[in-house]
């Protein structure tokens, strides 16, 4: 993490996520990609479930977790839409880093309907004071629509039950990444 955390969206997201860290609790990496966020979570939570629909990503994540000596990571090669089939306990934090796999096929991206279904699943797994963090990339194809769908969904969440905060880089081009945080208040 650099000196200026506002300059990188993932750094900003992690500064907030860090505050929810708890070695006694469970976290989910809903888009594990190359596994960097998974091991970041594995250092901070008791147990981590990592999902990726791409076999190469799931394998890379398993390898990274193993190489780093983490035995608290369960990697699942399935869509994060099906999260609820695998995660049976309440979770403290769910991270989504949307878009395409870094270094992978840019045609394989998260899609609005699947993402909405996955976030809905994550909401039902959330414990009190737990949080969902979603990094959105409206600059890539489909990303703009996905962001709009997520913000629309979040803006309709019961305000007495959930607290939703969205970040906007107001002096950057329209495609700049944004973060949506959702916490369960009660």
Residue 5 beta carbon to a copy of itself: minimum distance, rounded to whole angstroms: 5
Least gap, CB of 118 to a copy of itself (angstroms): 19
Q: Is 70 in the site for a copy of itself (CB under 8 A)?
A: no
DSSP state letters, 13-56 = HHHHHHTT-EEEEEEEESS-TTSHHHHHHHTTEEEEEEE-SSHH
Torsion of CA 127, 119, 24, 9, to 10 degrees: -120
Examine residue 6 and tell whether it contacts a copy of itself (CB under 8 A). yes
| CB atoms closer than 10 angstroms to residue 158 | 8
Length of the chain equals 186
61 scored as a contact of a copy of itself (CB under 8 A): no
Shortest Cβ 101–a copy of itself spacing (Å): 26
Question: CA-CA distance, 138 to 130, in Å (whole number)?
Answer: 25
> Is 144 an interacting residue with respect to a copy of itself (CB under 8 A)?
no
**Comparison of 33 and 138: residue with beta carbon closer to a copy of itself:** 138
For a copy of itself, the binding residue among 26, 38, 61, 183 (CB under 8 A) is: 183
Q: Among 74, 169, 174, 175, which residue sits at the site for a copy of itself (rule: CB under 8 A)?
A: 169
Place of tokens 């934090």: 93
21 vs 9: CA distance, rounded Å: 19
Interface residues with a copy of itself (CB under 8 A) are: 3-7, 12, 15-16, 19, 129, 131, 151, 154-159, 162-173, 180-181, 183, 185
């Amino acid at each position: 993490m650099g000196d200026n955390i506002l300059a990188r969206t993932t750094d900003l997201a992690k500064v907030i996520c860090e505050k929810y860290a708890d070695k006694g609790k469970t976290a989910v990496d809903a888009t594990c990609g190359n596994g960097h966020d998974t091991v970041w979570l594995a250092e901070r939570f008791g147990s981590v479930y990592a999902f990726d629909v791409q076999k190469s990503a799931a394998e890379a994540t398993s390898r990274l977790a193993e190489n780093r000596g983490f035995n608290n990571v369960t990697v699942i090669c399935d869509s994060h839409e099906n999260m609820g089939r695998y995660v049976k306990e309440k979770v403290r934090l769910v991270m989504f880093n949307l878009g395409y796999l870094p270094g992978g096929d840019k045609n394989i991206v998260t899609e609005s309907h699947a993402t909405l279904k996955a976030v809905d699943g994550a909401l039902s797994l959330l414990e009190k004071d737990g949080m969902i963090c979603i990094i959105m990339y409206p600059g890539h194809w489909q990303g703009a629509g996905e962001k709009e769908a997520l913000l629309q969904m979040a803006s309709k969440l019961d305000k007495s039950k959930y607290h939703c905060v969205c970040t906007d880089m107001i002096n950057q081009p329209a495609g700049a990444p944004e973060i949506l945080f959702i916490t369960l208040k009660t």
